[in-house]
Structures are given as C-alpha cells and as structure tokens.
Amino acid sequence: MKNVIVAPNPYRDQNFGTAREAMEILKKAGMQVKLCLPFEVDRSYDLPKDLRFTRLDREMQTADLVVCFGGDGTILHMAKSATRRGIPLLGVNIGTMGFMAELESTELDKLALLGTDSFTIESRRMLDVTVQRDRDIIFHDISLNDVVITKGAVARIVYLTVKCDGVQALECGGDGLIVATPSGSTAYSFSAGGPIVEPEAENILITPICAHEMGARCIVASDRRVVTVELARNARRNAYLSVDGGKALRLNMGDVATIRRSKLETKLVRLKQRSFYDVVNAKFKK
C-alpha cells in the first residue's frame, strides 16, 4: 500500500487533529499521502489554511487505500465510492458507535503496520437496489448496510408487500421495513428487533419496523433470493426509500423496489486479530 487517501469528516475531526497525526504516521511508514474531503462541506465552513486538500475523485484513480475518519455514516458514504473502484477501506472511529471502524482514534499508531503489509482484507457483501416506475428504472444504488422503506415523518401506517423470488413472504402495516446485509444487522435492523448476524453469513435480513400485526417477524433469507417491496393495495399514501441513511426517494403506488445481492463487495482492511463477537461485546457495552 503506497498511495493512501486520508479522508476525514470535518464536522467530527476538529481542526483535523486526528487526520494530521495519522498523516505523519503514514508518511513515516513510507507511504504517499493525499488529504481529501469525503463529501462536500458547507461553504461557511472554514478549512485550515495550512492543509492542502485535493479532489477525491482524482486521487481515487491511483489510490491503493482509503483511510476514513468519522462515524459509521462517514464510513458507509466512503464505502460506495471505494467499492466501485475496488479500493480497500480502513475506518477510524471518531463518532459514537463506530461499529464498522477498524481503529479508534487512540489507536493511530497501528497505521504503521500498513507499511509492513501486516494486515488482512475482509470482504463484505453488498446489496444492489433498483426502483422501477412503470417500465423505467428511476433509481439504482448499492448498499453495505441496509435499505429502509418508511412512512416518512407523518404519524401514520404504511402497508408494504414483500416477495422473495416472486412469492409473497410478508405483508404488514407499520412504520416501514428494513432490508439489511449481515454487516447491517447490528445497525437499524437490530434496533427494530432483528437478529445479530455474522458478516460472513450469506443472508439478507427483512425486518419490519413497529409492525401492527402479531405475526410480522424478521425473515432471514438466503442472499440468493431476489427481494421485491411494493406498497400494498390498501396503501393510500407514499413511502420513502433510503439506502445506507442517504437521501430519501419517494415511492408511489405501483413502484417496485428490487433488492438483491450485489456483484460488488466492500474490502475492509483489518490490522487487529479479533473476533466479530469481541467487537459486538465492546460496542454494545459502551
């Protein structure tokens, strides 16, 4: 790993203190380091004058690794860009939970291991998400964590029909539905009552949110299944679809959201030998 992008969340890394320290460690380990913002910041935000930022899309053309600083949301955002280009990602937690991060901000010294190739790469399954309206595909994205379909901000029930390979698996009314990867099992799906699933498992989780039916339960399906979600016939209003916490798309009656395993996989760099259950225990005891 010679060409490394350091991508800090400016709203979490105050004055880029963590990123500055990491850059020094990486340079001493013999790596070429470029500093990029993971997303566009508000124009009112004053970036430090002593730091040189370069464009992320340009640097990704030659990058061997992206080191991302922030919470889970920042890591999920960067995972899409990195995955589409086949670039491994290493997350450093400066947020609250930081479940997907490999390092805490107090463990930056371990970044020096990248210069000695003392690391492993773990592949995480992703979901491919499309929305069809009439005969047109109006939306396409990939997801590392989950696809969420909700009722929006209004206090009402949304009725959804879920099919696996064209066969109805669930129909329920409630606040909505989560379709998650094993990686996303510890996120919103877990809060909604879904199970914790090892990242290596070959599953798709379908978890109702505050369902209004006694029989509505989480379904653990094979990742070979094609999951489709539609507004049920008795639905009177719109629903909203969001991928990995991103901007919501309004769904109309007749729209079909199709979710299947993606051909792409996110590559996460691992510097520590630890069990998934060690991570679960450490994070949920906070």
Domains and CATH numbers, the chain: 3-119+271-284 (3.40.50.10330), 127-263 (2.60.200.30)
- pLDDT-derived band at 44 (thresholds 50, 70, 90) equals confident
**Interval 54-109: pLDDT, tens:** 999 999 999 999 999 998 899 999 999 999 999 999 999 997 777 889 999 999 99
Residue 235 above 80 pLDDT? Answer: no
For residues 245 and 78, the answer to whether their CB atoms sit within 8 Å is no
pLDDT at 3: 95
Rg (CA), the chain: 20
* pLDDT attached to residue 1: 66
Rounded to whole angstroms, how far apart are CA atoms 116 and 103? 17
Cite the active site residues: 72
pLDDT of amino acid 96: 76
First vs last Cα of the chain: how many Å apart? Answer: 33
pTM score, two decimals?
0.93
User: How far is it, in rounded angstroms, from Cα 193 to Cα 87?
Assistant: 33
Residue type, 193: G
- Is the model's pLDDT at 46 over the cut of 90? no
Residue 215's pLDDT band, with cuts at 50, 70 and 90, is confident
Average pLDDT, the chain: 92
Give the Cα separation of 10 and 13 in Å (integer). 5
Confidence band (pLDDT; 50, 70, 90) for 14?
A: confident
> What per-residue confidence (pLDDT) applies to 256?
97
Q: Give the whole-number percent of the chain exceeding pLDDT 90.
A: 76
DSSP state of 19: H
CB 94 within 8 A of CB 70: yes
